[in-house]
Structure 1
Amino acid sequence: MFRLNRLSYYIIFCIIILSLTSCDNSSKEGASEDHNPEHWEVDYIRKVIYQHQGLEKYTSPVQITFVREMNSHIEELLEELPNETLEDNRWTQLYEEVLGIEIKYDWIESGHLYHQKYSVALTSGNLPDVVRVNSQQLRELSNAGLIQDLTTVYEEFATPWTKAVMSQEGDGPFETATLDGKLMGIPEVDSSIEKAQFIWIRTDWLDQLGLDPPETMEDVLSISKAFTEKDPNQSGEDDTYGLAITQHLWDPVMGVAGFMAGFDAFPTIWIENDDGELVFGGIQPEVKTALGALQEMYQDGQLDVEFGFKDGNKVIEQIANGEIGMLYGEQWSSFRVGVSRVDDPSAEWKAFPIVSNSNELAKIPLKYGSHTFLAVRKGYENPEAIIKLINLHLEKNWGGTEDYKNYYSTPHPVWQLSPVTPFPALKNLDAYRLLKVAHQSGSDSGLNPEARSIKFNIDQYVKNNNESGWGWEKTYGPTGAFSILEQYVQNDQLLYDQFVGPPSITMVEMKPIMDNLMHDTYVNIILGTPLYEFDQFVDNWNRMGGEKITEEVNQWYCEWVKDEN
């Protein structure tokens, strides 16, 4: 698929600019104001960008309504911004000034009350102009005729920069939002690549025990055993565990997806088999092998016997107490494990690549990150307004007229004030790449505002020994998590979920029940249920609707492959 990156986007604009300047050359020669080419080129870029109909201001004000959940993060942010509210802030003012769009909220609620009112609104059909939904709700609203087809609206009003950003995740998010050939929602494109897993290990414990970083799953198991039995924290007590996991097996930090990938098991995604058909990873025999390894670790005391009752926050307390030395997690795990340095400044963690139980490089499973969609109420007269909001949000934060320090991070996360918050899925990996070039060249001149902000945080630790920058260095530094992610990309190790279509009919009806069955079965096996129970689970999964779902998934896959070719 052809994708526009930011460079391509601006090359297009430069071509437009050159044509404009050649046509208008005589007027510039006679002008007496500013003859600096850099200045008038920037002016022309600004002019061209805002001439696109997706950023043009309405001649008469247009109102668009949302509902909004208030949470502790927003409350804390607003405390730092005494002159701003959710209803009236820098973003609502910008949307009105630039686009002529007035943001209104039908209601704003917190926690349980928000979800209760939201559920009632969906059930009754009493929707705001724009509603945020998951894939199942999108289908239900579409089937009920309550939302609009946005195919033409997106094609005509999304700017080139918006389309470039929204394509960074490929076709997957839009495939999921397309029902019966119609784009029924705008995907809130998340970053799947940043959900790649790494092994995070206390390197001071490795050094203490004379161990090398893992190169195979056998090494991982050996390290886990040593961390459990050889008193790596030198407390003189039996108070350490080899591997941290939580009661939620698919947690992004301290989950088991990365561990299972080491056994070529991918329980949360659909993969292609040798016959070119899609099969669900959660019922494949490799999962049974991985569960068997976890069961042995549990029986050997390498896993906390109470993991089934502990969420991530509880396990973080164990990390802070120096009880944990290894876990699997995403790139931001550094900001979680850093708590161990509060009482023990010598605690050192480092990300390492996922390893396999074979001579092959491990595959890193990735689900497409777009789980929510912006749908527009049927009957709303200006459906293009939501596209315009998305355009401006991306433009002011990462486009040719960006004002990052005022609209994204002040350093407070003011981007959260906007009712729509799209972002480039590759922005953090791109920032790492810019930082790598800056580190190698010794020059910061090529850093964009986001990369510059990250470098400031890293320097706080590297140059000033300020602990606030420790996690940033472990994630974005020369040997941090993103350096490994770059290896994953270069080595073609990323394994994407092959099913990116909308949920099938049977999925809508049965998937939540089947997912719970799978999770409970896995946990019970880790706790000691005989391993053959996995085979019974597979039979139950197929009978409950798995066979039908597999048939529906492959029907979609055949049509999708045909369209792609």
Structure 2
Amino acid sequence: MKTKWSMKSKSLTKCLAVLSMSALMVATLAACGDSSNPPTAEEAGKYEVTPGDPFSAYKDEITVTMGRVTTANPKLPAGDTYENNAYTRLVKDTFNAQITDQFEANGEDYSRQVSLAIASGELPDMMRVDSKDELKELVDNDLIEDLTAIYDQYATDNIKQMYDSYDGRALDNATIDGRLMGLPATSLDSAPTMVWVRQDWLDLLGIQLDVDGDGTISLDEVEKTALEFLKRDPGQSGNPVGIPFVNTLNTTDYNGSAYTMLGVASTEGAFPQYWMNGEEGKIVYGSTTEETKQMLGIMADWFKDGIIDPQFGTRTFDDITALYTNGQSGIAFGPWHIPDWGLISVKQMDKNAKFSAYTLEDADGNVNVAHANPSNQFIVVRKGYEHPELAVKIVNLFYDKLANDKDAAATMPEAAKYQETGVDGSTRPFNIEVNSATSLLDDYSDVVRGIKGEIGLGEVRTTESKNNIGSIKTYLSDMDTDDATAWSKYHSRINGVGLIDKLTKENKFVWMTPTFSGTTSSMKQTWANLTKLEQESFIKIVTGSEPLDYFDTFVSNWKKQGGDQIIQEIEDEVASKQ
């Protein structure tokens, strides 16, 4: 039986036979090769100093065009750009590969650029796609490389261990028909949503939360504290406001849970917007369950009592942040890292501001949380690009070597300086994160031991953790410091991640594993309308313009307008994988 490689070798031999100049060999291999098969280490040896080496440079300079996801404030030093910065220069120095951006964009603009590239078939050599649908479309149209063999040959042991730590959830999500068609970003479990409360206000009013010190509080404690803040206005704003929530209310991403009611939902065992296993193998949409109805009843009571911001439903995200900055509200629902980018503005306005982090427990004292859905961000390689292995090598460089090199300041000084000064991660060639499932708590352990002097900085795993140790030590030496970065790192790591670490060690979490993420064929036509229906229905219930029983009308409409069809498609897809 002929293998694909044996047939390919004969094709290459035939092509090379007509050439008399050895200088044309590289070009001929690229032109005559069967691009449906990724290069083996032997083939890559035509280009690389050491074929198969995860960090091998190319003999002659190569170029790679990119589709780049940017951000509004990358914090790049003067003169540096997305195309020419410490990170792209590191790629050039390490691999002899020059990066050129085919397009740069953010948000919806980036999505449009990707859509145009797919529609025209004129893809950059590498780019990020942000949905499983786009990945499938690229595969269906034979536009991207199969990375299965390339990944096996080139990924470092550390990178493979990182992906494997998700028990298959990460790589499986990028696998179509048994082939790895993209390099997936990873999604850490970063649950739970936390309740961030102004500790300086609690102290001022003589309120003590979490008397038993287990890190959890009840809905009743949140209610009473919110009412006291409204009554006594500890921020002296003259216009105290209840707890603000975004009008979308829900999310399936704990990292994106700022100002959502995901934490409130957990007390009822509700998981809105998640796809879950129901009875007898049936798929259930979390927003349509009885538990979600009970959660909305709690929110409606809160709104009626003023515990929720009276302008709920109309505030923008920036409006909500301003309520905290102005001292009008002192209770915020959000992820462990909200002090780094949201609550830090409170410190900048009020030197005395301090927050404590708690999470909500249910009636049985449990903290109900969901495992993260696999990320729907993938790095793909254009079909026919001569160096598909470069994508894996870039992942090796940034998420293994740079992340774990304890001497990065000496070996990669420019890149290490970027990390130290907080240059945004989007300036790396790939705007994704690749971490092990335990990396958040591993980093926390390093930080705590580093602060205590139990390990030296040379033993700390990542440059980021080294920087955090310095910042937190600055805060601990003067808790009234004007250094907002030191304040934020203490709050996010010691208070935020520290709570996750504590609850993990005490086995307080009750985990739900989502059964599906992504989209189905009918979702493309109906999901936008179903999402609008859900959001508008929930707002009406919370604000009291419709009674709680209106929830049953919502569920009925949701099913009729496409929900039942989507559930059938998900059940079929799940069954096909079993």
Is residue 459 from structure 1 mapped to residue 473 from structure 2 by the alignment? yes
**CA separation of 1:109 and 1:545: change in aligned 2, threshold 3 A:** closer
Aligned equivalents of 1:309, 1:398: Cα separation in 2: 41
SS at match of 2:87: helix
Match of 1:355 among 358, 361, 365: 361
Aligned equivalents of 2:56, 2:235: Cα separation in 1: 62
Give the alignment of 1:53-452 within 5 angstroms: 53-74=53-74, 76-77=75-76, 80-82=77-79, 84-109=80-105, 114-133=110-129, 134-191=131-188, 193-194=189-190, 196-213=192-209, 215-233=217-235, 237=238, 239-250=239-250, 252-273=257-278, 275=280, 277-335=282-340, 336-356=342-362, 358-368=363-373, 370-400=375-405, 403=408, 406-408=414-416, 409-413=419-423, 415-421=425-431, 422-425=433-436, 426-440=438-452, 442-445=454-457, 446-448=459-461, 449-452=463-466
Is residue 526 from structure 1 mapped to residue 542 from structure 2 by the alignment? yes
CA RMSD of aligned residues (A): 2.7
Per-residue CA shift, 1:84-119, capped at 9, x if unaligned?
333333333332332232222223356776554443
Aligned equivalents of 2:572, 2:109: Cα separation in 1: 40
SS at match of 1:271: strand
Shift of 1:373: 0.8
Aligned equivalents of 2:305, 2:242: Cα separation in 1: 10
User: Structure 1 stretch 446-455 or stretch 396-405: which is displaced more?
Assistant: 396-405
Q: TM-score, normalised by structure 2?
A: 0.79
SS at match of 1:374: strand
- The answer to whether the 8 Å contact 2:148/2:181 transfers is yes
**CA separation of 1:494 and 1:456: change in aligned 2, threshold 3 A:** farther
**CA separation of 1:52 and 1:181: change in aligned 2, threshold 3 A:** closer
Aligned equivalents of 1:268, 1:112: Cα separation in 2: 22
Aligned equivalents of 1:116, 1:501: Cα separation in 2: 22
Aligned equivalents of 1:112, 1:483: Cα separation in 2: 35
Match of 2:499 among 484, 508, 517: 484
Aligned equivalents of 2:368, 2:422: Cα separation in 1: 37
Shift of 1:507: 3.2
- The answer to whether the 8 Å contact 2:200/2:355 transfers is yes
SS at match of 1:246: coil
**CA separation of 1:63 and 1:402: change in aligned 2, threshold 3 A:** farther
SS at match of 2:378: strand
Shift of 1:160: 0.9
Shift of 1:402: 5.8
Aligned equivalents of 1:111, 1:279: Cα separation in 2: 30
- The answer to whether the 8 Å contact 1:341/1:347 transfers is yes
**CA separation of 1:169 and 1:492: change in aligned 2, threshold 3 A:** farther
Shift of 1:334: 1.9
The residue identity in structure 1 corresponding to 2:155 is: A
Aligned equivalents of 1:410, 1:226: Cα separation in 2: 41
Per-residue CA shift, 1:29-77, capped at 9, x if unaligned?
xxxxxxxxxxxxxxxxxxxxx8853322233433221122444323x41
Aligned equivalents of 2:326, 2:467: Cα separation in 1: 31
**CA separation of 1:507 and 1:175: change in aligned 2, threshold 3 A:** farther
Shift of 1:287: 0.7
Per-residue CA shift, 1:447-504, capped at 9, x if unaligned?
3333221011112222143432111111222xx1111111332315163542346533
Name the residue aligned to 1:474. Answer: 491
The residue identity in structure 2 corresponding to 1:550 is: I
Aligned equivalents of 2:524, 2:508: Cα separation in 1: 33
Aligned equivalents of 1:144, 1:66: Cα separation in 2: 20
- The answer to whether the 8 Å contact 2:373/2:514 transfers is no
Name the residue aligned to 1:42. Answer: none
Name the residue aligned to 1:23. Answer: none
**CA separation of 1:397 and 1:427: change in aligned 2, threshold 3 A:** farther
The residue identity in structure 2 corresponding to 1:406 is: E
Per-residue CA shift, 1:357-386, capped at 9, x if unaligned?
x11312123432512111222222322221
Shift of 1:154: 1.6
User: Structure 1 stretch 208-217 or stretch 254-263: which is displaced more?
Assistant: 208-217
Shift of 1:288: 0.8
Shift of 1:278: 3.7
- The answer to whether the 8 Å contact 1:179/1:502 transfers is no
SS at match of 2:143: coil
- The answer to whether the 8 Å contact 1:354/1:364 transfers is no
Name the residue aligned to 2:41. Answer: none
Aligned equivalents of 2:106, 2:522: Cα separation in 1: 32
The residue identity in structure 2 corresponding to 1:392 is: L
- The answer to whether the 8 Å contact 2:146/2:181 transfers is yes
**CA separation of 1:398 and 1:109: change in aligned 2, threshold 3 A:** closer
Match of 2:562 among 545, 550, 554: 545
Runs (5+) with no aligned partner, structure 1 = 1-49
SS at match of 2:421: coil
SS at match of 1:331: coil
**CA separation of 1:400 and 1:70: change in aligned 2, threshold 3 A:** closer
SS at match of 1:292: helix
Runs (5+) with no aligned partner, structure 2 = 1-49, 211-216, 251-255
Shift of 1:188: 1.8
- The answer to whether the 8 Å contact 2:420/2:467 transfers is no
SS at match of 1:102: strand
The residue identity in structure 2 corresponding to 1:103 is: I
Aligned equivalents of 1:143, 1:485: Cα separation in 2: 41
Shift of 1:410: 3.8
* Number of equivalenced pairs: 502
SS at match of 1:503: coil
- The answer to whether the 8 Å contact 2:249/2:260 transfers is yes
Aligned equivalents of 2:375, 2:430: Cα separation in 1: 14
- The answer to whether the 8 Å contact 1:295/1:526 transfers is yes
**CA separation of 1:287 and 1:452: change in aligned 2, threshold 3 A:** same
- The answer to whether the 8 Å contact 2:62/2:98 transfers is yes
**CA separation of 1:467 and 1:97: change in aligned 2, threshold 3 A:** closer
The residue identity in structure 2 corresponding to 1:189 is: T
SS at match of 2:158: helix
Aligned equivalents of 1:557, 1:112: Cα separation in 2: 30
- The answer to whether the 8 Å contact 2:451/2:473 transfers is no
SS at match of 1:434: helix
Is residue 505 from structure 1 mapped to residue 505 from structure 2 by the alignment? no
Shift of 1:343: 4.4
- The answer to whether the 8 Å contact 2:123/2:382 transfers is yes
Name the residue aligned to 1:21. Answer: none
**CA separation of 1:413 and 1:221: change in aligned 2, threshold 3 A:** same
Aligned equivalents of 1:140, 1:117: Cα separation in 2: 15
- The answer to whether the 8 Å contact 2:370/2:514 transfers is no
